[in-house]
């Protein structure tokens, strides 16, 4: 029974890690696109600088909210901290990889 739980924890962590890496990449790309629009606002048409700034703030807020929701230990549900390659949970000592 314990082996199945450990394997399920590892699989859930791998899924969470994939989602987190995708969110980091997507946020970075969209922030670069918005920065480009801020500099070259004539590429896709006229955009007000306040609209671009609001979009950047909303994007960062959505990323932070997703990270708080996603980046948790599958076993104890505590935050995993800034290390994306964590092997063991700091709180419950569950093996993640």
Asked if 38 and 59 count as a contact pair (C-beta separation under 8 A), the reply is no
Report the predicted TM-score, pTM, of the whole model to 2 decimal places: 0.79
What pLDDT sits at residue 44?
Answer: 60
What pLDDT sits at residue 26?
Answer: 95
What pLDDT sits at residue 88?
Answer: 87
pLDDT mean values, one per 10 residues, the chain (97 residues): 71 92 95 82 67 89 94 87 85 83
Q: Assign residue 88 a region (left: φ > 0; alpha: ψ between -120 and 50; beta: otherwise).
A: beta
């Amino acid at each position: 029974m314990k082996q199945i739980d450990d394997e399920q924890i590892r699989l859930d962590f791998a899924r969470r890690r994939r989602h987190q890496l995708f969110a980091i990449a997507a946020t970075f790309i969209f922030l670069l696109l918005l920065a480009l629009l801020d500099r070259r606002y004539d590429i896709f048409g006229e955009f007000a600088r306040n609209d671009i700034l609001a979009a950047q703030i909303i994007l960062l807020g959505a990323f932070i909210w997703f990270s708080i929701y996603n980046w948790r230990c599958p076993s104890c549900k505590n935050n995993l901290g800034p290390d994306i390659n964590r092997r063991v949970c700091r709180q419950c000592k569950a093996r993640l990889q």
